[in-house]
Chain A
């Protein structure tokens, strides 16, 4: 620059002017450096931030996979529903709007605040779900307040629709918002606050498959969250539909049979472990959880002394009572002790100083009537001879005290005591007297209904024990199946050979249980024409003496069991019934019988309704026959006819030769002559001549 020298008058100091120039230069350089830092060095970072600013991902919710029964009938459906989300704007404080929002959406302000607090740490572009299943008038409220409440946004999705009245609720489970505790667990690592997850039952176990993958709609927004552009959509992947092994008809029969009694029913196919029905009572309505359960309703559920949320079929661990005698019989027979054990029951036995009662004075008892009589005296002595270690060995082998590995969350293992167990946990020796209690399924023995179904069904199947399951495994991805088997270690599928002789003795004994007969414990559950075998059980909660001293209230009554099978050997169906405080064991036996008869009736009905099996038709056979006209009384009409026919599966196909042996000569044709179809059977003297050579 050209700095002219000014000489006239007082003037600006050149040194100072130059200093100012350098100061300005330095300032400009500093500002340039600042721009360099941001625009050249930090460009990538700031570009990413700018993108984050302008792109909002509006979730597209994936429809959850539906559930079907084994015959592809719908159990759990979805229905379209609108959810309301709160979109946080960076420079708008929504706190002031909360009371209005709460009023319009019928929410509790405090609850709403708590929801917002939970999402404080979430990234700003993530919308906060504040209300599911918005009703029509709430939707109208949101529309009407678009300007005052621009932060509200509605998203359409699908919600769960469960069967009414808690049908199969313990099988299905329910869905709800993922809780904060869950989010801290590793298995929920991929979930975000506000996600809907399965809780309990199939919904929880198969959540990963059922939930699908939420998509998103990427929109360009301005700082007010207004959509000003659209980038694209990542489509939601709907969840996998699952076919359950449940048979709706049998499930309904089991639900009706159990009614509102406190207990559980499990029906399983012991050949493959498919659960056909699973009921637990009291029940709950999973639909109540589908949105957000009412606090009071929740409190009612968790404080109910009968535990509605507990799946008693897999979680109730109770003394199996006399149903344990089946295992005792297996042990006794396999060890060669029971065959020769003959006992005289005089109402109890007590070699160790304590007298152990039997319900009756059965008189002479051996293994054949010990099961139908459920004679305690016999099993006291059998147990005494076997000893606790042998009993525990067999019981453990067959699965007592272990989970079955069913694909439901929260299964309990039950308990099988042994000398080691007692030493380990109570640091004392096992007294032989204690074996007597174990021998009749009391003492410390505990089992779940599902365990009993698996064990007794397995024994009746000749020692083939299965792993119970609710979902046909062929629908599952291999990886998922492997994980499932690993996370659910159970006694699984095993084969324990039982001597066929012993097998017959035990299954025949079980068949006798439901036959009418004096001392037979479940004679009243007899089903005419159905081979129903089973075993009852009564697990006393208090000793006879103690019971005598108390008021005989509801909850002092014994828990009663029944495990039923049909047919007695290699059964197709095993049903375990638990009725807590049910008092008499033939009560559950009748419930079990209802389930069994529902099953058998359905099978028979199906057999008649179904198309005939497509086996290749047998070749027609040529037969010769002689006959008279049916119903002929006078000698005149009683003529003898003869003819040859081709007979196939469906009856006579054709007459190969005209009736030739008609005497007197058939001027008048027999009225039946044209309808030979019936004739040979009426006479029953069809003689095969030679196979018809067809084709």
Chain B
């Protein structure tokens, strides 16, 4: 028996975090039930329960695996990820014009989801290995390549939403890994130019992608396409008022005006039925979950542990910001799910696996 095993116990498991996550998952299941009540997706809440159960089990299993081992395995996993992303492009199931899914047995997987977790580990490993010294431009370039390669593969699926979720991993790694102010500013300026260049070149972004990215500013420009989704989402959220219309009573949700109310727009459905009070409650839950994770990062035994948790925080924060921002008209429609709320096996599994890793890091905070 290793000393680590002896010192690690479920007494150190983060029960508070798990409690908040469970509460959020309960809300999620109830809202999926309500939102799918009159649609062909009826019964998805039970599926979601299975996913959550599977996720919780996976979380416990992962919380038992030493994250250092995970870091050791990461180069292999990274390689497998790249292969799977290439595979999905070649043999994946085509849904709505994009190849994102691989079918394994009866289940469909979206490799791009769990590539996220591997990327978090890889970035943490990379920056931890640098040992906290000041970053050279070469280090930065290497980190860009590390994230950029899988990102490109996801972009060509095409799945812009998931590809974008990889960027906060890199940004968090750079920020916490020791980038200095001057380098940060230069990168930001370069990034701005790059975005402007991509936008104006007219070749990289497809017109529908551009339309989706701008329609949130003025939904009436495109009332039939993504503008319609934004518009219906705003109506749903706004008409919820302070107290909401009541569970399963949202006219936008029940009348099928709100697009995909159990997945990408679940926050709109929830806000319609439970009002400002309910929405703020959920935001508060997210806030406490993130704060708890950051605390875990700070108490982690070593830098890789901290970086891994901060990478998770970065991804979750990004997803919350983009999804809720989309629902309330601050952000374009990108198809990024709301973690722990949106229906979807891949997303649930990723979140719980990530939480499992975080748990492991917390449980090992006194081990070295």
Give chain A's interface residues, CB within 8 Å of chain B. 1-4, 6, 8-14, 16-17, 20-21, 24-25, 27-28, 30-32, 34-40, 42-43, 45-47, 49-51, 53-54, 90-91, 93, 220-224, 228
Asked if B13 lies at the interface with its beta carbon under 8 angstroms from chain A, I say no
Asked if B317 lies at the interface with its beta carbon under 8 angstroms from chain A, I say yes
Q: Is B255 touching A24 in the complex (CB atoms < 8 A)?
A: no
**Minimum CB distance partner of A52 in chain B:** B235
**Minimum CB distance partner of B258 in chain A:** A223
Give chain B's interface residues, CB within 8 Å of chain A. 38, 128, 131-132, 172, 175-176, 223-224, 228, 232, 234-242, 251-252, 254-257, 271, 275-276, 279-280, 283-284, 286-287, 290-291, 294-295, 297-303, 306-307, 310, 313, 317, 320-321, 324-325, 328-330, 365, 368
Which of A8, A24, A43 contacts B291 (CB under 8 A)? A24
Q: How far is the CA of A401 from the CA of B279 in the complex (A)?
A: 78
Decide yes or no: A31 and B302 within 8 Å by CB, A12-B310, A24-B317, A38-B238 being known contacts.
no
Q: Is A12 touching B297 in the complex (CB atoms < 8 A)?
A: yes
Q: Which residues of B contact A51 (CB under 8 A)?
A: 251
In whole Å, how far is A631's beta carbon from the nearest beta carbon of chain B? 100
Question: Lowest 6 A-B CB distances belong to which pairs?
Answer: A46-B238, A50-B239, A12-B306, A39-B276, A34-B328, A43-B241
Decide yes or no: A17 and B297 within 8 Å by CB, A38-B234, A54-B251 being known contacts.
yes
Q: Is B279 touching A28 in the complex (CB atoms < 8 A)?
A: no
**Minimum CB distance partner of A51 in chain B:** B251
Q: Which residues of B contact A6 (CB under 8 A)?
A: 298-301, 365
Q: Which residues of B contact A90 (CB under 8 A)?
A: 223-224, 228
Q: Is B313 touching A20 in the complex (CB atoms < 8 A)?
A: yes
Q: How far is the CA of A20 from the CA of B224 in the complex (A)?
A: 39
Q: Is B328 touching A91 in the complex (CB atoms < 8 A)?
A: no
Q: Which residues of B contact A39 (CB under 8 A)?
A: 237-238, 240-242, 271, 275-276, 279
Q: Which residues of B contact A20 (CB under 8 A)?
A: 172, 175, 294, 310, 313
**Minimum CB distance partner of A221 in chain B:** B255
Q: How far is the CA of A11 from the CA of B300 in the complex (A)?
A: 8
Q: How far is the CA of A10 from the CA of B241 in the complex (A)?
A: 49
Q: How far is the CA of A32 from the CA of B313 in the complex (A)?
A: 19
Q: Is A43 touching B242 in the complex (CB atoms < 8 A)?
A: yes
Q: Is B299 touching A32 in the complex (CB atoms < 8 A)?
A: no
Decide yes or no: A4 and B238 within 8 Å by CB, A25-B287, A36-B276, A91-B224 being known contacts.
no
In whole Å, how far is A376's beta carbon from the nearest beta carbon of chain B? 76
Q: How far is the CA of A419 from the CA of B302 in the complex (A)?
A: 116
Q: How far is the CA of A611 from the CA of B351 in the complex (A)?
A: 99
Q: How far is the CA of A263 from the CA of B349 in the complex (A)?
A: 89
Q: Is B176 touching A16 in the complex (CB atoms < 8 A)?
A: yes
Which of B224, B298, B317, B365 contacts A93 (CB under 8 A)? B224
Q: Is B325 touching A31 in the complex (CB atoms < 8 A)?
A: yes
Q: Which residues of A contact B284 (CB under 8 A)?
A: 28
**Minimum CB distance partner of A36 in chain B:** B276
Q: Is A42 touching B238 in the complex (CB atoms < 8 A)?
A: yes
Q: Is B242 touching A16 in the complex (CB atoms < 8 A)?
A: no
Q: Is B302 touching A228 in the complex (CB atoms < 8 A)?
A: no
Q: How far is the CA of A25 from the CA of B300 in the complex (A)?
A: 22
**Minimum CB distance partner of B303 in chain A:** A10
A21-B291, A28-B286, A46-B237 are known contacts; what are 15 more A-B pairs with Cβ within 8 Å?
Answer: A2-B295, A6-B298, A6-B299, A10-B303, A12-B176, A14-B298, A27-B317, A28-B283, A28-B287, A30-B330, A31-B328, A39-B242, A40-B241, A221-B255, A222-B256
In the complex, 5 of the A-B residue pairs with CB atoms within 8 angstroms, ordered by the A residue number, are A1-B291, A12-B307, A16-B176, A39-B240, A46-B235
Q: Which residues of A contact B38 (CB under 8 A)?
A: 222, 228
Q: Is B328 touching A17 in the complex (CB atoms < 8 A)?
A: no
Q: Is A45 touching B238 in the complex (CB atoms < 8 A)?
A: yes
Q: Is B271 touching A35 in the complex (CB atoms < 8 A)?
A: yes
Q: Is B368 touching A9 in the complex (CB atoms < 8 A)?
A: yes
Q: Is A54 touching B241 in the complex (CB atoms < 8 A)?
A: no
Q: How far is the CA of A36 from the CA of B241 in the complex (A)?
A: 9
Q: How far is the CA of A221 from the CA of B254 in the complex (A)?
A: 10
Q: Is A4 touching B237 in the complex (CB atoms < 8 A)?
A: no
Q: Which residues of A contact B256 (CB under 8 A)?
A: 222-224
Q: Is A53 touching B299 in the complex (CB atoms < 8 A)?
A: no
Q: Is B252 touching A50 in the complex (CB atoms < 8 A)?
A: yes
Q: Is B330 touching A34 in the complex (CB atoms < 8 A)?
A: yes
Which of A4, A50, A91 contacts B235 (CB under 8 A)? A50
Q: Which residues of B contact A12 (CB under 8 A)?
A: 176, 297-298, 300, 303, 306-307, 310
Q: Is A222 touching B257 in the complex (CB atoms < 8 A)?
A: yes
**Minimum CB distance partner of A37 in chain B:** B328
In whole Å, how far is A302's beta carbon from the nearest beta carbon of chain B? 40
Q: Is A43 touching B368 in the complex (CB atoms < 8 A)?
A: no
Q: Is B131 touching A47 in the complex (CB atoms < 8 A)?
A: no
In whole Å, how far is A688's beta carbon from the nearest beta carbon of chain B? 94
In whole Å, how far is B237's beta carbon from the nearest beta carbon of chain A? 5
Q: Is A10 touching B255 in the complex (CB atoms < 8 A)?
A: no
Q: Is B325 touching A35 in the complex (CB atoms < 8 A)?
A: no
**Minimum CB distance partner of B178 in chain A:** A13
Q: Is B236 touching A24 in the complex (CB atoms < 8 A)?
A: no
Q: Which residues of A contact B237 (CB under 8 A)?
A: 35, 38-39, 46
**Minimum CB distance partner of B277 in chain A:** A39
In whole Å, how far is A34's beta carbon from the nearest beta carbon of chain B? 4
Q: Which residues of B contact A224 (CB under 8 A)?
A: 256
Which of B236, B276, B299 contacts A4 (CB under 8 A)? B299
In whole Å, how far is A41's beta carbon from the nearest beta carbon of chain B? 9
Q: Which residues of A contact B286 (CB under 8 A)?
A: 28
Q: Is A220 touching B255 in the complex (CB atoms < 8 A)?
A: yes
Q: Which residues of B contact A36 (CB under 8 A)?
A: 276
In whole Å, how far is B247's beta carbon from the nearest beta carbon of chain A? 17
In whole Å, how far is A91's beta carbon from the nearest beta carbon of chain B? 6
Q: Is A43 touching B238 in the complex (CB atoms < 8 A)?
A: yes
Q: Is A21 touching B294 in the complex (CB atoms < 8 A)?
A: yes
**Minimum CB distance partner of A5 in chain B:** B298
Q: Which residues of A contact B280 (CB under 8 A)?
A: 32, 35
Q: How far is the CA of A38 from the CA of B276 in the complex (A)?
A: 9
Q: Which residues of A contact B257 (CB under 8 A)?
A: 50, 53-54, 222-223
Task: Pick from A38, A46, A90 the residue with the most CB of B within 10 Å.
Answer: A38
**Minimum CB distance partner of B284 in chain A:** A28
Q: Which residues of B contact A14 (CB under 8 A)?
A: 298
Q: Is B298 touching A91 in the complex (CB atoms < 8 A)?
A: no
Q: Which residues of B contact A32 (CB under 8 A)?
A: 280, 283
Q: Which residues of A contact B131 (CB under 8 A)?
A: 10
Q: Is B297 touching A27 in the complex (CB atoms < 8 A)?
A: no
**Minimum CB distance partner of B317 in chain A:** A24
Q: Is B251 touching A53 in the complex (CB atoms < 8 A)?
A: yes
In whole Å, how far is A340's beta carbon from the nearest beta carbon of chain B? 87
Q: Is A10 touching B238 in the complex (CB atoms < 8 A)?
A: no
In whole Å, how far is B365's beta carbon from the nearest beta carbon of chain A? 8
Q: Is A43 touching B283 in the complex (CB atoms < 8 A)?
A: no
In whole Å, how far is A530's beta carbon from the nearest beta carbon of chain B? 74
Q: Is A24 touching B228 in the complex (CB atoms < 8 A)?
A: no
Q: How far is the CA of A24 from the CA of B319 in the complex (A)?
A: 12
Which of B235, B239, B271, B295 contacts A1 (CB under 8 A)? B295
In whole Å, how far is B173's beta carbon from the nearest beta carbon of chain A? 12
Q: Is A35 touching B299 in the complex (CB atoms < 8 A)?
A: no
In whole Å, how far is B275's beta carbon from the nearest beta carbon of chain A? 6
Q: Is B298 touching A3 in the complex (CB atoms < 8 A)?
A: yes
Q: Is A46 touching B234 in the complex (CB atoms < 8 A)?
A: yes
Which of B251, B328, B365 contacts A38 (CB under 8 A)? B328
**Minimum CB distance partner of A45 in chain B:** B238
Decide yes or no: A24 and B287 within 8 Å by CB, A47-B241, A223-B255 being known contacts.
yes
Q: Which residues of A contact B251 (CB under 8 A)?
A: 50-51, 53-54, 220
Decide yes or no: A11 and B303 within 8 Å by CB, A28-B287, A90-B224, A228-B255 being known contacts.
yes
Q: Which residues of B contact A47 (CB under 8 A)?
A: 238-239, 241
